[in-house]
Amino acid sequence: MADNARKKEFCVTDDCLIVLTQPQIKYPSIGWREPHGFISFARAESRLLRECHPVAKAAYMVVKRMSNYFCQYNFFSSHIIKMALLWCLEEEDLKKYRSFNCSDEVNGCELLCLVQNILRKLRCFAAQDYVPFYFMPSCHQPVWLDEIYLKQVHMRLYQHGLTYKDLFSLSEQQSHDIVLQRMKILFTFSHVMYWTVLSEADELELFVPSTINPLCENSYDSDQ
């Protein structure tokens, strides 16, 4: 019901397209070889972003640039950052940024607040290891830019009986696992990236789920 309400409210004619693609090119683990059609809401996403208040557009560009240039590693795709922004604009105190109000002014404090909220939302996505698609929340997508399949991070940790905190105390054998090392780097630097936009009064905490189970569908709120 919620999915249908969101589609009716935010989608207009021609927003939804059927895209023919060969997913096995990007995801070799997929068994089939024939082209398949997928639903694309790219036009709807772009339109909603255009209709947002300038501070929302600016926040999207800031986080996108941080994800690309904060360090030598790329964290999140522009699409995932866009999903985080759209979900943030669902929150009561941020709904005011969903529409353009005829002013091109970008307030610095508002920009910082929205950047913090987007990075906090991305941190929640990373903890649950999936991104609920904005227009179809029951459809989940990988979080990290280099994830090969959905919940790859949780699956790897689960196979080793580890949690995110265990990444800082890997055994000698585990430390040779390239995937685990990559996860440790992404997990660490994505937190540092978020910490850089906090005030001096904010406490620096690791945001991690207490258990790792790739079969579970856990959702983490921004203020956890």
**SS3 track for 165-206:** HHHHHCCHHHHCCHHHHHHHHHHHHHHHHHHCCCCCCCCCCC
**What range does the domain containing 153 cover?**
51-195
Q: Is 49 exposed, middle or buried (0-12, 13-18, 19+ CB in 10 A)?
A: middle
Q: What is the pLDDT of residue 3?
A: 53
Q: What is the pLDDT of residue 144?
A: 93
Q: Is residue 28 one of the residues assigned to a domain?
A: no
Q: What is the pLDDT of residue 209?
A: 81
Q: Is residue 171 one of the residues assigned to a domain?
A: yes
Q: What is the pLDDT of residue 19?
A: 56
Taking residue 146's Cβ as centre, other Cβ atoms within 10 Å add up to 13
Q: Hey, which residues does 19 pair with through a beta bridge?
A: 38
Q: Is residue 120 one of the residues assigned to a domain?
A: yes
What DSSP element (H or E) covers 54? helix 54-69
Give, rounded to a whole angstrom, the gap between the first and last alpha carbons of the chain: 27
Q: What is the pLDDT of residue 40?
A: 64
Q: What is the pLDDT of residue 41?
A: 66
Q: Hey, which residues does 21 pair with through a beta bridge?
A: 36
Q: Is residue 44 one of the residues assigned to a domain?
A: no
User: Which has the closest alpha carbon to 148: 21, 47, 63, 26?
Assistant: 26
Taking residue 179's Cβ as centre, other Cβ atoms within 10 Å add up to 16
Q: Is residue 36 one of the residues assigned to a domain?
A: no
Q: Is residue 207 one of the residues assigned to a domain?
A: no
Q: What is the pLDDT of residue 117?
A: 95
Total number of domains constituting the chain: 1
Backbone angles phi, psi at 19, to 5 degrees: -110, 125
**Spans of the chain below 70 pLDDT:** 1-41, 102, 221-224
Q: Is residue 215 one of the residues assigned to a domain?
A: no
- Each residue of 49-94: pLDDT tens digit? 888 999 999 999 999 999 999 988 889 999 999 999 999 999 988 9
| Phi-psi domain of 104 (left: phi exceeds 0; alpha: psi -120 through 50; beta: other) | alpha
Q: Is residue 29 one of the residues assigned to a domain?
A: no
Write down the pTM of the prediction: 0.81
